[in-house]
C-alpha cells in the first residue's frame, strides 16, 4: 500500500503530477507530456507495483482524451473471459433508463418502488464501466418533459436524487469517478441542487470515469442554448462560429461523442436525448425494464457494439 507521499516514487518518477489510489485498486496517474512518455511511464508503473508487491490484477491504459494514465481493474485476459475486447469497448456510453414504472406495475407495486429499484441498479453498472476503462457514461435520469408527471412522483424522484448523491458520493469519489450534471438544475428544489453541486465539486478533479447525469435535460433546449451562445460570440468577435465553437457550448464539451446508446424497456426512440452527440452512435434497444438491466445485460450490449462495423461514411 502506498500514497502520493512516497518520497522514493516522487523522486524517481518526474513525469507524474498526481497519484491517486482508490479503494477498488484502480490507480490513476496524470502526465503532462501529451503522451510522449506513455510507454516509459507504463514500464515505471509496473516496476513500482512489482517492487511494492502489489497483489491485485491490473491493466495499465492511456486516455488521449484527457492525457491520463490509469490502471483498470479488469485485465485484458479477464475481459476476454467475458467475451469482451478492450480495443472494441466504446469510449462513451449513453443510457436511457426506461421502464421503472412498468417494472413496478408488473409486480403489483407503486411506481416509486420501480424508481428506487432503478437507482439501485446504477451502482453495479457504474462500477463496471469504470473498472473496464470506459471513459464516459451519460445517464438520462430526468428529462425536461418529466415535469408533467404527477407531483407525488416528481417528489419521489427528487428525494431519490438527494439520497443517491449523499449515499454514493464516498464510493464514487474513492473510485475516481468525476460527476457532472447536464441540464437545467434551476428548476429543482434547493436541496436537490445543493446535493448535486456538492457531488460535482467533490469529484471535479477526479480523472476516472466521467459520469454525466442528465437532470431536467432536453436535447432541443441544449442545442438552442449552444446556438444562442455562438450567436453572442459571433456578434462580439465579428467572426462566424465553426463546429468546434458550437461544441464548446454543449453540456458534453470536452468529451468524445457517444459511441453506444442503450435504451431499456423495448421502446425504439431517442426521446430528445443527446441528439447532437448521437450522430454516429450505435443504437442498442434492450427488451427488459431498467431495474432488470443487469451487468450481464450490459455486457451483452457491449458485445453487440463490438460486432458492429463503424465506417463513419467511409467504406
Residues acting as catalytic residues: 98, 146
Q: Angle 175-178-179 (CA atoms, 0-180°, nearest 5)? A: 120
Residue 236: its H or E element: helix 219-237
- Go through 61-80 and write b for each residue having 16 or more CB atoms within 10 A of its CB, e for each that does not: bbbeeebbbbbbbbeeeebe
CB atoms within 10 A of CB 34: 9
268 — phi, psi (to 5°)?
Answer: -115, 60
Give the C-alpha separation, 134 to 210, whole Å. 9
The 8-class DSSP code of residue 292 comes to: G
Amino acid at each position: 500500500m502506498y500514497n502520493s507521499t512516497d518520497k522514493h516514487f516522487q523522486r524517481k518518477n518526474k513525469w507524474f503530477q498526481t497519484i491517486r489510489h482508490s479503494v477498488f485498486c484502480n490507480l490513476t496517474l496524470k502526465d503532462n507530456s501529451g503522451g510522449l512518455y506513455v510507454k516509459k511511464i507504463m514500464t515505471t508503473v509496473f516496476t513500482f507495483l512489482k517492487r511494492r508487491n502489489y497483489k491485485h490484477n491490473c491493466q495499465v491504459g492511456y486516455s488521449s482524451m484527457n492525457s491520463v494514465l490509469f490502471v483498470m481493474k479488469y485485465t485484458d485476459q479477464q475481459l476476454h473471459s467475458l467475451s469482451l475486447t478492450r480495443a472494441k469497448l466504446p469510449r462513451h456510453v449513453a443510457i436511457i433508463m426506461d421502464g421503472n414504472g412498468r417494472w413496478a406495475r408488473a409486480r403489483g407495486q407503486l411506481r416509486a418502488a420501480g424508481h428506487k429499484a432503478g437507482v439501485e441498479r446504477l451502482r453495479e453498472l457504474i462500477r463496471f464501466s469504470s473498472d473496464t476503462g470506459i471513459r464516459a457514461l451519460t445517464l438520462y435520469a430526468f428529462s425536461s418533459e418529466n415535469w408533467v408527471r404527477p407531483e407525488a412522483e416528481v417528489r419521489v424522484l427528487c428525494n431519490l436524487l438527494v439520497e443517491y448523491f449523499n449515499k454514493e458520493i464516498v464510493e464514487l469519489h474513492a473510485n475516481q469517478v468525476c460527476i457532472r450534471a447536464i441540464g437545467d438544475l434551476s428548476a429543482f428544489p434547493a436541496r436537490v441542487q445543493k446535493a448535486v453541486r456538492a457531488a460535482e465539486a467533490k469529484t471535479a478533479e477526479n480523472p476516472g470515469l466521467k459520469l454525466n447525469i442528465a437532470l431536467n435535460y432536453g436535447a432541443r433546449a441544449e442545442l438552442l442554448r449552444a446556438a444562442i451562445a455562438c450567436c453572442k460570440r459571433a456578434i462580439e468577435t465579428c467572426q462566424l462560429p465553426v463546429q468546434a465553437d458550437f461544441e464548446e457550448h454543449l453540456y458534453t464539451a470536452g468529451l468524445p461523442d457517444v459511441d453506444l446508446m442503450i435504451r431499456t424497456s423495448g421502446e425504439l426512440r431517442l426521446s430528445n436525448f443527446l441528439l447532437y452527440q448521437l450522430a454516429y452512435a450505435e443504437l442498442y434497444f434492450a427488451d427488459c425494464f431498467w431495474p432488470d438491466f443487469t451487468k450481464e445485460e450490459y455486457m451483452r450490449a457491449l458485445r453487440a457494439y463490438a460486432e458492429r462495423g463503424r465506417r463513419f461514411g467511409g467504406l
